[in-house]
Amino acid sequence: MIDAGILPVFGACAPDPMLETLRETVLAANRALDASGLVRLTWGNVSGIDRGRGLVAIKPSGVSYAALRAEDIVIVALADGAVVEGRLRPSSDTPTHLALYRAWPAVGGICHSHSRHATMFAQAGRPLPCFGTTHADHFHGEVPLCRALSAPEVASDYEGNTALAIIEHFREEKLDPVAMPAVLQAHHAPFTWGSTPAAAVANSIALEMCAEMAIGALILHPMLTPLPAYLLDKHHQRKHGPGAYYGQGE
Amino acid sequence: MIDAGILPVFGACAPDPMLETLRETVLAANRALDASGLVRLTWGNVSGIDRGRGLVAIKPSGVSYAALRAEDIVIVALADGAVVEGRLRPSSDTPTHLALYRAWPAVGGICHSHSRHATMFAQAGRPLPCFGTTHADHFHGEVPLCRALSAPEVASDYEGNTALAIIEHFREEKLDPVAMPAVLQAHHAPFTWGSTPAAAVANSIALEMCAEMAIGALILHPMLTPLPAYLLDKHHQRKHGPGAYYGQGE
Amino acid sequence: MIDAGILPVFGACAPDPMLETLRETVLAANRALDASGLVRLTWGNVSGIDRGRGLVAIKPSGVSYAALRAEDIVIVALADGAVVEGRLRPSSDTPTHLALYRAWPAVGGICHSHSRHATMFAQAGRPLPCFGTTHADHFHGEVPLCRALSAPEVASDYEGNTALAIIEHFREEKLDPVAMPAVLQAHHAPFTWGSTPAAAVANSIALEMCAEMAIGALILHPMLTPLPAYLLDKHHQRKHGPGAYYGQGE
Amino acid sequence: MIDAGILPVFGACAPDPMLETLRETVLAANRALDASGLVRLTWGNVSGIDRGRGLVAIKPSGVSYAALRAEDIVIVALADGAVVEGRLRPSSDTPTHLALYRAWPAVGGICHSHSRHATMFAQAGRPLPCFGTTHADHFHGEVPLCRALSAPEVASDYEGNTALAIIEHFREEKLDPVAMPAVLQAHHAPFTWGSTPAAAVANSIALEMCAEMAIGALILHPMLTPLPAYLLDKHHQRKHGPGAYYGQGE
């Protein structure tokens, strides 16, 4: 999968400080995902993008988090997924990451996990309603459920078609990926994203907590309805957008 | 937000040992909250008050617990929330803390978190019944559910109005904030308090455990009723009040 | 509460190696209980007995596990609960422990906690059926639910009457405390016991796991019935009794 | 139980490097099982096999994981369970392990635990449906429920008959133990296996997660049906079989 035509540009002999920084950022985000308790075994991966150079850094496939080093992070081309640097095979979900980056220019990092409670919703085929301000702080409304792929879609380009179904869903439902940085794929699990790899991981953590609290709330009140729109808007704007006053304004 | 008229009184050059102690106490309580597992990301904050000087110390907004140092704790004026010491922005929930301190003179510390099981009750819009002695040891009866704010209340002074709704609820229901050091706010999450910041955190931990055990008890017995009043009184008085014989009598 | 008539016998000046061993054993068991994750705050206590001398060692009331040292463990007289050694007040549950020791000579250690899933059953007022071999390995049949105390029983000698109700229940139901080293007290929580303090803690851990698995099994199969008697007997005898072949035969 | 006729061959004086490697591998897998959080107390065991020499290494019975050392791992003969090396009694489940190794030549390691959510399904007497891709990645279809043993089977050779019932179930249902490396035994708990002891442990971890997510999915959607066959096949083949492209191709 190594594209010889690109290799000379980012030659293996000359270390590239910008790529090293990207690899370190993506390594740290993968370690944060592991430390969060959201992943078991190797069920998760985080990527980050250098938009200026059209390069994506992503976890190698099937490598345990404990053993992961910066040099194991694989650099692939945004355009076609060709491996630009790295001796390992990139995550099998790489085509999904790349297609989302190509469709949504505001995304700087993507996180995929099979975190337990978010995956329960994905497996049950239910979107995640916004039942409280914790949810509203991170996701502007119901976290959507993306349809399962058809048999032909699975047979031809499974991971690429996964992203196409997500992108299609967001376009049809007029969802803004900045205000809604998460999706649940039916039968599968969540994907989240953000302005950076760390933000993508934080959104996965938030999604998992919201899913767990939603299941408990539904046990206590099976007919529960979402919180009022004015509360949803207030909490989301408190943290995001021009008038945000949560945090230190970084 | 810095009130220049107050700054000279607590000048930045002369370290103030009483404020340092308050900051250390509040820092320790925030760290205890983090260590308890009740918070994820930055979803929680603890404050403490120096009643003599009318000053409140509180966690800065959106700062991770791991990075939190004593000098990051923000000192604000009880009267108007003006920042008296500290380079960071105080928690966005500061107006809620201040209004509760102003209404209830016996309160020495306040803790807010989105702990999972307590938040499930808040999101489901159900108060937390007293199903056992664990609950009775800490909370004298059902932990109340405070109504959600109206759209105008959210639009004008959201965090301040949150406290006003809680205070109004306690007054109308004739609840004593010393015997009932917790509330669940609908659609949102719990607030707890106590004689010190550490006691407020302990009450958040107790509330979370009671909420988790109540959900399980309701799964096992959906029509479960609260424990008898004589058991509630006995357990609460064993730990609190003049005849208390639990603990070392500190 | 110090009984001056007993103090000279176990004089404070002459260290007593047998009491030191008992204190260390009880300290270790309390730490094991804390490490097990079954307790929050100070909601639990373990005791051990020296039958030859009629002395019981127990955790002091309301002291955090992290701060607990051997010299904090309180020595009380089996006969009347008088404090024989120790500067701290013993656990408020001490009268319950003592009455169980007096009633059941085979018991060498007692553990009380408010562990979450066992407490859910106690609060729901349901005994814990034996749904599997994990349960059968430790408890020979359904873990009984002991009735709540009446108002007069609570008013007169709450902690002592707690034990009397348990003992009465075991006698009426012809339960052997060796084969059934656990009870759930209605509205309250579990007590477990064993031949040593460590065995009592292990039974609390086993009870908690069995309770958690029973709730899940009931969610999956609400009409679930207990496992057959021949399997219950087989698993219990594999670990206990004359033909036991589990473990190293210690 | 020591078979004197075999002892001279693997003499106690001459250390056997191949057996040492097997013991270290089995020790590491038992420690990984403990670190996974799947076991409490001593409720689990992992074994590994040296097919060339007909020897199986297994955890000793009832020994805590924290205290476990390589020399504690017991070596038994595949053919008859005779202890070949080791001073401790092997796991009481040894006959189950041995019978599975004899029936299924592709199995290199076996893991038994009472992990909570998998055991809930076993206790409830329900097989574990494949509700998502996490499951499909590890188990090709529904994880089967093996019937409980009859009273005569329990009375004669309980642990051996456990394996016979599992083997019979796989033969009757035409299940391939390589594609389906797990079983739930009714009233009891799961067994998993794999090409190595570490793979067997990984399958136990995967099974536990899939069981937990299935319970949550069933709470959200009680009539949930398994994922489509084409998705099951795709995910299983992505990780296993000739065209696998997950991982680093080791």
Among A residues 144-163, those touching chain D with beta carbons less than 8 Å apart: 148-149, 151, 154-155, 158
Number of helices (H), then strands (E), in chain A = 7, 8
Cβ distance of A41 and D131 shorter than 8 Å? no
D219 neighbourhood in chain C, CB within 8 Å = 219
Which residue in this structure is represented by tokens 């110390």? Answer: B57
Is a pLDDT exceeding 70 seen at residue D208? yes
Greatest alpha-carbon pair distance for chain D in Å reads 62
Distance (Å, rounded) from C-alpha C103 to C-alpha C171?
Answer: 10
C125 part of contact set with chain B, CB < 8 Å:
yes
C218 neighbourhood in chain B, CB within 8 Å = 219-220
The pLDDT confidence band at residue C14, using thresholds 50, 70 and 90, is low
Region of A147 (left: φ > 0; alpha: ψ -120 to 50; beta: rest) is beta
Q: Which position among B50, B65, B72, B137 bears the catalytic label?
A: B137
Distance (Å, rounded) from C-alpha D49 to C-alpha C144?
Answer: 43
Best probe of the D interface among A38, A40, A65, A120, by most D CBs < 10 A, is A120
Q: Which position among C50, C137, C157, C233 bears the catalytic label?
A: C137
For B134, the token pair is: 């664990």
**H or E element at residue A208:** helix A197-220
Question: Going by C-beta distance under 8 Å and a sequence separation of 6 or more, which residues neighbour residue D161?
Answer: D149, D153, D154
Among A63, A92, A117, the residue with its CB nearest the CB of D216 is A117
- The ranges of chain B with pLDDT < 50 are 1-12
SS (H, E, C) chain B: CECCCCCCCCCCCCCCHHHHHHHHHHHHHHHHHHHCCCCCCCCEEEEEEECCCCEEEECECCCCHHHCCHHHCEEEECCCCCEEECCCCECCCHHHHHHHHHHCCCCCEEEEECCHHHHHHHHHCCCECCCCHHHHHHCCCCECEECCCCHHHHHHHHHHHHHHHHHHHHHHCCCCCCCCCEEEECCCCEEEEECCHHHHHHHHHHHHHHHHHHHHHHHHCCCCCCCCHHHHHHHHHHHCCCCCCCCCCC
Q: What is the pLDDT of residue B229?
A: 93
- Provide the edge-to-edge strand list for the sheet that holds A44-50: A83-85, A74-77, A55-58, A44-50, A109-113, A190-194, A182-185, A145-146
Distance (Å, rounded) from C-alpha B8 to C-alpha A145?
Answer: 56
- Alpha carbon of B139 to those of B111, B176, B207, B232: distances in Å? 15, 11, 8, 9
Neighbours of chain D (3+ CB pairs under 8 A): A, C
Is a pLDDT exceeding 70 seen at residue D250? no
Of A73, A96, A71, A75, the residue nearest A84 (C-alpha): A75
For C25, the token pair is: 């054993």
Q: What is the pLDDT of residue D114?
A: 97
- Provide the edge-to-edge strand list for the sheet that holds D190-194: D83-85, D74-77, D55-58, D44-50, D109-113, D190-194, D182-185, D145-146
**Stretch among B29-38, B239-248, C160-169, C171-180 having the lowest mean pLDDT:** B239-248
* β-sheet bridge partners, residue C112: C45, C191
Distance (Å, rounded) from C-alpha B58 to C-alpha B27?
Answer: 8
Q: What integer is the mean pLDDT of D37-43?
A: 92
Best probe of the A interface among B64, B87, B187, B219, by most A CBs < 10 A, is B187
Q: Measure the N-to-C terminal CA separation of chain A; round to a whole number of Å.
A: 40
- Alpha carbon of B164 to those of A214, A245, B100, B191, D71: distances in Å? 27, 21, 8, 13, 67
Domains and CATH numbers, chain D: 17-240 (3.40.225.10)
Distance (Å, rounded) from C-alpha C200 to C-alpha A144?
Answer: 49
Among B residues 180-209, those touching chain C with beta carbons less than 8 Å apart: 202, 205-206, 209
**Stretch among A21-30, A233-242, C46-55, D149-158 having the lowest mean pLDDT:** A233-242
For C29, the token pair is: 């068991």
Distance (Å, rounded) from C-alpha D89 to C-alpha A200?
Answer: 50
Q: How far is A226 from chain D (nearest CA, A)?
A: 16
Helix segments in A139-184, DSSP class H: 151-172
Q: What integer is the mean pLDDT of C21-43?
A: 95
Among D114, D121, D149, the residue with its CB nearest the CB of C220 is D121
Sign of CA dihedral D142, D36, D38, C247: positive
For B240, the token pair is: 């609190």
Helix (H, G, I), strand (E, B) or coil at A221: coil
**Searching chain A, which residue's CA lies closest to the CA of residue D237?**
A155
Q: What integer is the mean pLDDT of D13-32?
A: 89
Among B residues 15-44, those touching chain A with beta carbons less than 8 Å apart: 40-43
What is the CA angle B213-B214-B220, rounded to 5? 95
Is a pLDDT exceeding 80 seen at residue C197? yes
C60 neighbourhood in chain B, CB within 8 Å = 248
Helix (H, G, I), strand (E, B) or coil at D192: strand
C137 neighbourhood in chain D, CB within 8 Å = 43
Q: What is the pLDDT of residue A1?
A: 38
Give yes or no for a contact between A131 and A228, defined as CB atoms under 8 angstroms apart: no
**Searching chain D, which residue's CA lies closest to the CA of residue A114?**
D134
Instruction: Check: pTM over 0.90? Answer yes or no.
Output: yes
A89 part of contact set with chain D, CB < 8 Å:
yes
Mean pLDDT of chain D: 92
D178 part of contact set with chain A, CB < 8 Å:
no
How many Å separate Cα A21 from the centre of its chain? 20
- The ranges of chain A with pLDDT < 50 are 1-12
Q: What is the pLDDT of residue B18?
A: 87
B213 part of contact set with chain A, CB < 8 Å:
no
**Stretch among A106-110, A155-159, C201-205, C216-220 having the lowest mean pLDDT:** A155-159
Of C229, C249, C96, the residue nearest C162 (C-alpha): C96
For D108, the token pair is: 């290199």
Helix (H, G, I), strand (E, B) or coil at C146: strand
Distance (Å, rounded) from C-alpha D158 to C-alpha A84?
Answer: 58
Among C88, C120, C155, the residue with its CB nearest the CB of B217 is C120
- Residues B66-107 have pLDDT tens digits of 899 999 999 999 999 999 999 999 999 999 999 999 999 999
Among A123, A155, A188, the residue with its CB nearest the CB of D217 is A123
Q: What is the pLDDT of residue D14?
A: 59
Residues of A identified as active-site: 137, 246
Cβ distance of D220 and A89 shorter than 8 Å? no
